Structure 1
């Protein structure tokens, strides 16, 4: 029962308060509480009331007092005023104030303080309702209860028929009734709670109760097995408390004979014996004056008797089973007084199951073939019913036809790791099935074994050799460090092994998982290996990179990588102008554009090697980039047009290398520079008879200006 919660959180306990037991003027709207319950029982108005053991009442180990009342005003914050007192001290009550549940007009309190509900004390209680002004309803009637926490001392257990004692002082016998007497010194015992156990029984008998009115009680009992027994008894008082346990150990005399046969051990059958094959059975009595034994197999099987020589307790007889399967032999001793004693039951198996040979009690490699040979052990066998154990559960049953001799051969692909054994029954022409024969085997997953060389440091190649016992392997499936991106398929070598190469890029714990599969898709168990990889050193520059070439616009500069240890596998480059990286300038050479004119160039070389942290080194800065060489005319400028006054001459720029971006023009008359700078010149009369030349100035960004002058032409008169 869940721990009860008071209806309102506000509560107070005033112990030892001196409150008059006379009622105050009643609250007109509220009647005295009624329907009183003590621990769920109707109010007892006379002492001592019910005997209560708090720890047996509920999870709170509390005595619950409650009732209901009529009247009240909705919304009033009322309180229940409980008084609880020792009947020997009525003028010194405990006061318990609890909020009232106005929804159902219920008064309620849990007495959880063991120090205020003392063992063996009878208490009275009553309750009234208080409003916020302190006006009280009439008191309820008075109820009584007595606290009883102690179950008392253990009861006594006695028996003349089966007195206490160990195995060497046995009494009675199987089937011989006896009585046990339970007694207690307590006068409030209402029953005895007991259970009988025996060494021969795998499970204890259930607990049972014998009621009593405070005196002793008698248990009548007849043993069904011999040997050691234990009787455990508790006295139960009127509060439901249990006493200390009493233990009565005793032994029942063994009168059943013992049974022995080498032919039919009680744990399994044997292939040497079968239906119709006689076997010797030995019976030994535990009783003096035994004259013989009576035996039977089950209720409808063969039976017989065998005599015992004088002063002997042992006899041997031959018994021939008439059917197969599990059956029970029952044997009784017979003594000189003609009495027949309790019988011994011996369960045994007559095994007519087939003989099963082949891949039994061994491990078979996955992907191979399981082979079994079946020989009949009963007549007229025409076929066999077999099924496998699959993950510990029986698989589907199948039928295999037998040959003319009744034998058969079974071949099954060993493609599943969860196969763990085989059951086989022979089926005769009359439809009779034999006892099932069990053959255990296991399927080896043939997980590949893996050896490794190298790969002890990042960047070093590890070479693995994987090999499996499974035959016909067509591929090995490999994955490193659980990373799907490293998954690969490796073809086997001529000898069936696989060679796998891997360059670890991370230090620390590394591992390889590998499985093999054959052409049928049968896959081995997972194999692999793991190893520790140390971090390889970062690449370190031993000599700085050097920039060579003309540091001028249009020129090409080259970066040497410099010296490094260990030797890099590749290099990367980044050029910069005045310390700012130049976008796209990531090659070993750099053609200088006009945009970096006047700036100093540097290059950063990044050296890379697989498995090693990269190294960086920066070349010494160049001098500031100067202008490139002036364009040169590979073909001189020329003047076209009619050299006559009033006509216009045009300058032809010729051919320049490198190509100019634009041109300017300087015209001269007899060597005197004119102001005209355009491509054309208008001839005037004053120019008659004079020589005209044009100088073309080739302009290219970041380069010096190139100049070339045409041949002179004479203006006709």
Structure 2
């Protein structure tokens, strides 16, 4: 069992600061006129104590038992208090172990570790607490709290099965997966923990509230990860929707006993038929970067189980964007997307059904795109040796797409500039070398909508 360490630490630091201030301002013990009061808000292992001997709280006591209570005094000016705890096995009440917290703060939880090395697996214990002031006066002991030490995890992994997604065959997706979990003959299993991502969440976590009072979170209140068995050592059936369907799902499951000890895990494998939506490109604009209309159609098997209500579209272009579009009453949807990937565009589209099922993603790609400009010269041929020092040459830039507004160029000698496109989108510049040798000309186009396209490197040598 684990607690929220960050929250607990903050309370501890706050308590230390408060204690220091309280000690400076405290009335001398001799002046106190009140009497210590029995601690309240008794907790063990961050859970409220059980005062019913027939229904003890089960804890894993390998490292002892952390107990806590809130001390007080009838005189509100008294802050210099301590809390004493004692524990004994029900089988032998004369065998008592004790612990204390000498720096307790009135009105706040004060903890101590009882029974470190004292608790025995399988034994039941009672513990109680009392408040003691600086003069040594003590309150009455609290009513006993009862715990049972359980350090042994369930030996057998649970059995896992599904009536609508049986393992070992290809299943139609769309419906929540009905999973039956069974303790597999282990008599002290209280429930189960499961996950689609392999690692299992921790059961029995507590946050820390006002005055340091633990706020225990019952794991079985979260059906996304935990389920309580119908009886001790029994079974249960849950309906689960994975975060997103894939062709191969793996559910990891462990049994939990009453102390939240975890059994070995079972992995249940589910194969799901491809159930992604159909993606259809409806328009094909000739100009680069203009909106393109797509239509999304649900997988018939998914739609038959539960109506598709929306589509999630991930566009991989110049940037990655995610868009959710609502489906029509027929389960289809249309979306305009600006295809701006200078090396090509890809869409990943999945659908979500009314019952929460998220399908596998269908991929659409427009293929690799070449958005570099075409570069040519009347004198300086690409990858060739020509011209000479002082010999001017004309360089022509031409587009592979409509809608080019300008070209930006840089020669390796430092000459740079931007020239507007004209006519069919082409442009011309004149350049004269000042020395011979190898040169590189880097050119890229910018569209009318401001998209910078891929650059082209044009290599040549001057005589």
Instruction: Give the TM-score, by structure 1 length.
Output: 0.35
1:127 equivalent to 2:129? Answer: yes
- What is the Cα deviation at residue 35 of structure 1? 1.0
2:294 to 278, 292, 298: 298
Measure the CA separation in 1 of the matches of 2:52 and 2:420: 89
Specify the SS of the correspondent of 1:34: strand
Q: Distance in 2 between matches of 1:179 and 1:187?
A: 24
Q: Deviation at 1:81?
A: 3.6
Matches within 5 A, 1:255-334: 275=286, 298-299=294-295, 326=345
Q: CA deviation at 1:84?
A: 0.4
Aligned mate of 2:161, from 147, 158, 164 = 158
Equivalent residue number for residue 407 of structure 1:
426
Partner of 1:144: 146
Name 2:264's counterpart in structure 1: 244
Please tell me whether residue 34 in structure 1 is matched to residue 39 in structure 2: yes
- 1:44 maps to 50
Aligned with 1:44: secondary structure? coil
Checking the alignment, whether the CA contact within 8 Å between 1:275 and 1:350 is kept in structure 2 is no
Query: For residue 194 of structure 2, what is the aligned residue in structure 1?
Result: 193
1:429-454 Cα deviation digits (max 9, x unpaired): xxx77893344699xxxxxxxxxxxx
Distance 2:68 2:172 in 1: 55
* Partner residue, 1:375: 398
Q: Which runs of 5+ in 1 are unaligned?
A: 8-27, 198-206, 260-272, 277-295, 302-322, 331-341, 363-370, 389-397, 414-418, 443-470, 472-717
Match of residue 92 from structure 2: 89
SS of match in other structure, 1:33: strand
**CA offsets 1:243-300 (integer angstroms, 9 cap, x no match):** 33221234334588999xxxxxxxxxxxxx9959xxxxxxxxxxxxxxxxxxx98219
CA RMSD of aligned residues (A): 5.5
Residue of structure 2 in register with 1:425 after alignment: 446
Residue in 2 aligned with 1:311? none
- Aligned equivalent of 1:232: 252
Compared with structure 1, are the counterparts of its residues 349 and 238 closer, same or farther at alpha carbon in structure 2 (3 Å cutoff)?
same
Structure 1 pair 143–422 and aligned structure 2 pair: CA distance change class (3 A): farther
- State whether residues 191 and 211 of structure 1, in contact with CA within 8 Å, keep that contact through their aligned partners in structure 2: yes
Relative distance call for 1:157 and 1:30 in structure 2 (3 A) is same
State the distance in 1 between where 2:270 and 2:103 align: 59
CA separation of 1:154 and 1:386: change in aligned 2, threshold 3 A = farther
Change (3 A) 1:422 1:160: farther
Equivalences for residues 342-353 of structure 1 within 5 A: 345-349=363-367, 351=369, 353=371
In 2, the alpha carbon distance for the partners of 1:132 and 1:249 equals 63
Deviation, 1:159, is 2.4
Q: Deviations over 1:581-635 (max 9, x none)?
A: xxxxxxxxxxxxxxxxxxxxxxxxxxxxxxxxxxxxxxxxxxxxxxxxxxxxxxx
**Alignment TM-score, normalising by the size of structure 2:** 0.51
Contact 2:164–2:177 (CA<8 Å) still a contact in 1? yes
- Find the aligned partners of 1:65 and 1:132 in 2 and give their Cα distance: 19
Larger radius of gyration: 1
Contact kept? 2:39, 2:69, Cα under 8 Å: no
When residues 54 and 350 of structure 1 are mapped into structure 2, their CA distance, relative to the original with a 3 A threshold, is same
Report the CA distance between 1:124 and its aligned residue: 1.0
The change in CA–CA distance for 1:357 and 1:131 in structure 2 (over 3 A counts) is same
Structure 2: unaligned runs, 5 residues or longer = 17-32, 199-222, 298-337, 350-359, 384-393, 411-416, 433-439
In 2: Cα distance, 1:96 partner to 1:238 partner: 26
Change over 3 Å in CA distance of 1:327–1:124 after alignment to 2: closer
Contact (CA 8 Å) 1:354, 1:375: kept in 2 or not? Answer: no
Q: Distance in 2 between matches of 1:113 and 1:409?
A: 89
**Taking structure 1 as reference, are residues 343 and 81 closer, same or farther at Cα in structure 2, changes over 3 Å only?**
closer
